[in-house]
A and B are shown apart, each in its own frame.
Chain A
Amino acid sequence: GQQLNQSPQSMFIQEGEDVSMNCTSSSIFNTWLWYKQEPGEGPVLLIALYKAGELTSNGRLTAQFGITRKDSFLNISASIPSDVGIYFCAGRGFGNEKLTFGTGTRLTIIP
């Protein structure tokens, strides 16, 4: 099925570093969502974006809905050990009920 291009696939960073990941799509979306998934659990919503150009923060997390409607990025500032997990972007097009997920970015924090 259709998937978004999410990069990078994995990141190995030190505690305290900033993190940036992004998603691109060949289709225009009217909704971009960012989720985090930890082992054995379902994806948990981090940030929801509904307008092109929208920049939204949730604590140390900031996400933007790209102006072209075909991309979005997520930044995490000053990473901490509990940020470890897999981050997924997801998008929904106009008149489309289906939410398409990116392939995920696995974040690992090096001691």
Chain B
Amino acid sequence: DSGVTQTPKHLITATGQRVTLRCSPRSGDLSVYWYQQSLDQGLQFLIQYYNGEERAKGNILERFSAQQFPDLHSELNLSSLELGDSALYFCASRGQGPSPLHFGNGTRLTVT
């Protein structure tokens, strides 16, 4: 158990809809990262937050947004969903300094 919790585990929705994915980082970790993994693909970095502020941005679509709350949990909002948005979405957290990312078990999003 990595200590990173993601909900829900599975999400099935229709095109055009909006969903929210939730992540609770490991206790004490201030940084939260979001990654997208499409079928049989590697992990694509979306966005990172540190202590409530956006720190780094990857190839995140304008339809997607995220935030980190004062209690350090984070949410990834995906709107105007398209079939191609179907993927695994992972959240990861890490501590200060040169430390590794610890991943949650992901949310599998299926857009029909």
Cβ 8 A contact of B101, one of A3, A33, A40, A102: A33
Whether the Cβ atoms of B58 and A1 lie closer than 8 Å is: yes
Distance in angstroms from A38 CB to nearest chain B CB is: 10
Q: Given A88-B42, A102-B42, does the pair A43, B98 have CB atoms closer than 8 Å?
A: no
Q: Is A108 an interface residue (CB 8 A)?
A: no
Cβ 8 A contact of B42, one of A50, A97, A103: A103
Whether the Cβ atoms of A97 and B48 lie closer than 8 Å is: yes
Whether the Cβ atoms of A100 and B45 lie closer than 8 Å is: yes
**In the complex, what residues of B have CB within 8 A of residue A102's CB?**
42
Whether the Cβ atoms of B105 and A40 lie closer than 8 Å is: yes
Q: Given A1-B44, A88-B43, A97-B48, does the pair A33, B100 have CB atoms closer than 8 Å?
A: yes
Q: How large is the interface on A (under 10, 10 to 19, 20 to 34, 35 or more residues)?
A: 20 to 34
Q: Is B104 an interface residue (CB 8 A)?
A: yes
Cβ 8 A contact of B33, one of A31, A50, A88, A99: A99
Q: Is A101 an interface residue (CB 8 A)?
A: yes
A30, A41, A42: most-surrounded residue (chain B CB, <10 A): A42
Q: Is A13 an interface residue (CB 8 A)?
A: no
In the docked arrangement, what's the CA distance between A46 and B28, Å?
Answer: 21
**In the complex, what residues of B have CB within 8 A of residue A97's CB?**
31, 48, 50, 55-56
Whether the Cβ atoms of A98 and B100 lie closer than 8 Å is: no
**In the complex, what residues of B have CB within 8 A of residue A30's CB?**
98
Distance in angstroms from A92 CB to nearest chain B CB is: 8
Whether the Cβ atoms of A42 and B90 lie closer than 8 Å is: yes
Distance in angstroms from B42 CB to nearest chain A CB is: 5
Whether the Cβ atoms of A99 and B101 lie closer than 8 Å is: yes
What 7 A-B pairs come out closest when comparing CB atoms? A42-B103, A97-B56, A101-B43, A48-B100, A42-B105, A1-B59, A103-B42
